[in-house]
Chains A and B, each alone.
Chain A
Amino acid sequence: MTAAGRDPAATLLRVEDLEKVFRSGSWLPGRRSDEVRAVDSVSFTLDAGETLSLVGETGSGKSTLGRLVLRLIDPTGGRIWLDGVDITALSRRQVRKLRRDVQMVFQDPYGSIDPRMKVGAVVAEPMIVHGTWRDDGPDRVRAVMRKVGLHEDHLDRYPHEFSGGQRQRIGIARAMALEPRLLVLDEPVSALDVSIQAQIINLLRELQRESRLGFLFIAHDLAVVRHVSDRVAVMYLGRVVEIGSRDDIFNSPAHPYTVSLLSAVPIPDVPRERLRQRVVLHGEIGSATRLPGGCRFHPRCYKARLVATRDAVAVVQHGDESLPRACVVDDPATVELAAGHRAACHFPERGPERSETARSAVVFSGRGG
């Protein structure tokens, strides 16, 4: 959907050096307040008609980033533009107007719909709230319902009469009611059964094709992400550690975290799966309150351990293992590896070396966690 040369006029969303720091614990006398750097200088763009996925584990900041873009919470630094208009510092009234253009679909279709409203009212509500309800309102509601694959006689029913998949359709209909430009989808299929996931994914693609919607797709399921995305941003402890086209990320991942994440996803094909090499990471993601110094991924990184033993680099001793000095001391800058493909790593994986180092990484696998 997006050509290699990006057209600046097509840019729907632009985010630059976005930052969100939460503070906590300061109400206790004599205690230092904790800082959580949930989102840490994140930059990206998203075109109309394009899907950019944010992937990462729990605590990576992907949902916080989604809420920042929706202006549900205020950033502590950086800027957000929608259609070239700076929306970073809008007043409450202006944020309400913004909602017409930017809508959200939530993970839990049970929790995001008022159980006492009939489905017709659920879908009509955004039109009424935003003052776009006219005489043709009922027709528009019916049109949106049809678009998402719901039947007209569903209008008079209550949400509890629907299955999870149908309820997610209602959630999508509500988000589409104002004909937005951008949808933020936070784990839209992860609560659904396998046989229903495919129905919703296909529906989302159809809607995007019809109306050139931009999708910011937040998910942890990499197989789903590969299926829906044009581009992918991989987050780790608040930072985008790698961003690129779908093929960049899935065929030539550069950041060791991306490599590890991909290798952890099981493939439902027995012979192929049994031939795969797997990198098992050390430990877990840790906490954004106590960010490790240097590169935030170094405590779990297989590549840092490999480089320290294989290459002539300055190393520091860390417990019983040695790590490259750079990884422990310097937070890596984001560098462009190819057009549109960027990673924040001192020793990114490149070319044929990739499979070789990932294989030797098996040596470091096992324990931890």
Chain B
Amino acid sequence: MSAPDRPSPQKASGNPPVLELRGLHTVFSSDQGPISVVDHVSLEVSTGETLAVVGESGSGKTMTFLSVLGLLPPGGRVAGGEVRFQGYDLTTLPPAKLRALRGAEVSMVFQDPLTALNPVFTVGDQLVDVIRAHTGDSRRAAKDRAVALLERVHIPHPQRRVNAYPHQLSGGMRQRVLIAMAIALHPKLLIADEPTTALDVTVQAQILELLDELRAELGMGMVLITHDLGLVGTHADRVAVMYAGRVVETAPVASGFARSRHPYTRSLYRSIPRLDTPPEAQLAAIEGLPPDLARLPAGCAFEPRCYLGRGREDCRRQRPPLVLAGDDEHRSACLHWQRMSPEGSQA
């Protein structure tokens, strides 16, 4: 469908936040002592809006939201900060209470739809399990709801497909089943972690459209975790860029993001080949490698690779805080964002 048809949020910024992270700090224990994988992250998601969280592997984008849901792998723990959701602080909620919220009020869609489904049960069985775990529905009523849900995510012949096993469905269909499961109880917040990375590009477009449609109709807040900058433009209202466990820039997609105010974001945009820029040009690769989280520099984590700050004394000495940069919705964690040329991201 044409891009302008994307269902718009009900004036996202005016809505109350459905999720609020305040200084979230998550550590993993290691031989070298605790490693901060999520380093004092503050973010919020409003009802009806999509926040895209962008970053490379190891940037902490997935760990942030596994912390939110209390699903950290062994060795990881939340060491500080708050996660405000529905009037609760999820970091201090008793496990049973958190379990009741998870899957009902807040749910998650993962990257790989094959491993997220149990191969020995039909998709109907698995949907019925989710529904009955959170409601008093009879098996029969839950099955009817499962069929309605499959129809809701545009799976053809839902009456028949409800009895199918995961291996009998294509990758795109399986992802639709997982989305059906995630929205089964009308959550207030849906977290989609790389939901289309394992899918082909034509199927990716279908799935993202489905998520947009559901978000608008159900009025959910949505978090879209992705490494693909291309998706941000059409499928998000605001974007947060993460690097080495920290949020380095947040901005509304429509107004500010084309004029990035953090050197990492701008370099990332310049380094990717695009369909709308001259193909002959040498790609502006970012030199060096992402930092080792166990040996983070004292100052800005991006300083050693930064075209603007490399070698600067202040960048090496102090960790730049995330501060307002220019207008009231654009934040940057760069000491020198004002030195950046005002040009857009397309160099």
Q: Hey, which bits of chain A sit against chain B, CB under 8 A?
A: 57-58, 163, 165-166, 193-199, 201-202, 205, 220, 222-224, 226-228, 246, 250, 260-262, 264-278, 280-281, 284-285, 362, 365-369
B233 touches A369 (CB 8 A): no
A202 touches B173 (CB 8 A): no
CB < 8 Å: which of B3, B272, B345 contacts A275? B3
A270 touches B275 (CB 8 A): no
Q: A195-B290, A264-B205, A270-B258 are in contact. List 20 more A-B contacts (CB 8 A).
A: A57-B200, A57-B203, A194-B227, A195-B285, A198-B283, A220-B200, A226-B273, A227-B279, A227-B283, A250-B275, A267-B276, A269-B345, A270-B254, A275-B4, A278-B2, A284-B200, A285-B200, A367-B154, A368-B154, A369-B170
B205 touches A280 (CB 8 A): yes
Kindly state the separation between the CA atoms of A269 and B229 in the bound complex, as whole angstroms: 9
* Residues of chain B lying within 8 A (CB to CB) of residue A202: 282-283, 285
Kindly state the separation between the CA atoms of A275 and B233 in the bound complex, as whole angstroms: 11
Interface code B265-300, partner A: CB below 8 Å = 1, 0 otherwise?
A: 001110111111001001111110110000000000
Q: Which of B3, B202, B272 has the most CB of A within 10 A?
A: B202
Least Cβ–Cβ distance between A60 and chain B, in angstroms = 9
B56 touches A194 (CB 8 A): yes
A198 touches B284 (CB 8 A): yes
Least Cβ–Cβ distance between B112 and chain A, in angstroms = 14
* Residues of chain A lying within 8 A (CB to CB) of residue B287: 199
B contact patch SS: loop
Q: A280 with B233: in contact, given A193-B227, A201-B283, A367-B154 (CB under 8 Å)?
A: no
Q: Hey, which bits of chain B sit against chain A, CB under 8 A?
A: 1-4, 6, 56-57, 154, 156, 170-173, 176, 200-207, 209, 227-234, 253-254, 257-258, 267-269, 271-276, 279, 282-287, 289-290, 345-346
* Residues of chain B lying within 8 A (CB to CB) of residue A285: 200
Nearest A residue to B269, CB-CB? A268
Least Cβ–Cβ distance between B102 and chain A, in angstroms = 27
The A/B interface has a contact count, at CB < 8 Å, of 163
Kindly state the separation between the CA atoms of A198 and B272 in the bound complex, as whole angstroms: 7
The 9 A-B pairs at the shortest CB distance, nearest first, are namely A266-B230, A227-B273, A198-B285, A57-B200, A198-B283, A273-B233, A198-B271, A193-B56, A268-B229
Least Cβ–Cβ distance between B122 and chain A, in angstroms = 20
CB < 8 Å: which of A268, A280, A362, A365 contacts B274? A268
* Residues of chain B lying within 8 A (CB to CB) of residue A267: 230, 233, 274-276
A369 touches B273 (CB 8 A): no
Least Cβ–Cβ distance between A152 and chain B, in angstroms = 19
CB < 8 Å: which of A270, A277, A281 contacts B2? A277
Of the A-B pairs whose beta carbons lie under 8 Å apart in the complex, a sample of 25, sorted by A's number, is: A57-B201, A193-B57, A193-B290, A194-B229, A196-B289, A202-B282, A202-B283, A222-B201, A223-B272, A224-B273, A227-B279, A261-B201, A261-B202, A265-B275, A266-B231, A267-B233, A268-B269, A268-B345, A275-B4, A277-B2, A281-B205, A284-B173, A366-B1, A366-B209, A369-B173
Q: A269 with B271: in contact, given A165-B289, A278-B2 (CB under 8 Å)?
A: no
Kindly state the separation between the CA atoms of A275 and B232 in the bound complex, as whole angstroms: 15
A284 touches B203 (CB 8 A): yes
A223 touches B3 (CB 8 A): no
B3 touches A273 (CB 8 A): yes
Q: A362 with B1: in contact, given A268-B272, A270-B258, A274-B233 (CB under 8 Å)?
A: yes
Kindly state the separation between the CA atoms of A227 and B284 in the bound complex, as whole angstroms: 13
A194 touches B279 (CB 8 A): no
Q: Which of A199, A266, A272, A362 has the most CB of B within 10 A?
A: A266
Least Cβ–Cβ distance between B171 and chain A, in angstroms = 8
Q: A223 with B56: in contact, given A163-B289, A265-B230, A369-B207 (CB under 8 Å)?
A: no
B204 touches A264 (CB 8 A): yes
Kindly state the separation between the CA atoms of A199 and B176 in the bound complex, as whole angstroms: 35
Least Cβ–Cβ distance between B61 and chain A, in angstroms = 12
* Residues of chain A lying within 8 A (CB to CB) of residue B276: 267, 269, 272
* Residues of chain B lying within 8 A (CB to CB) of residue A222: 201, 275
Nearest A residue to B280, CB-CB? A227
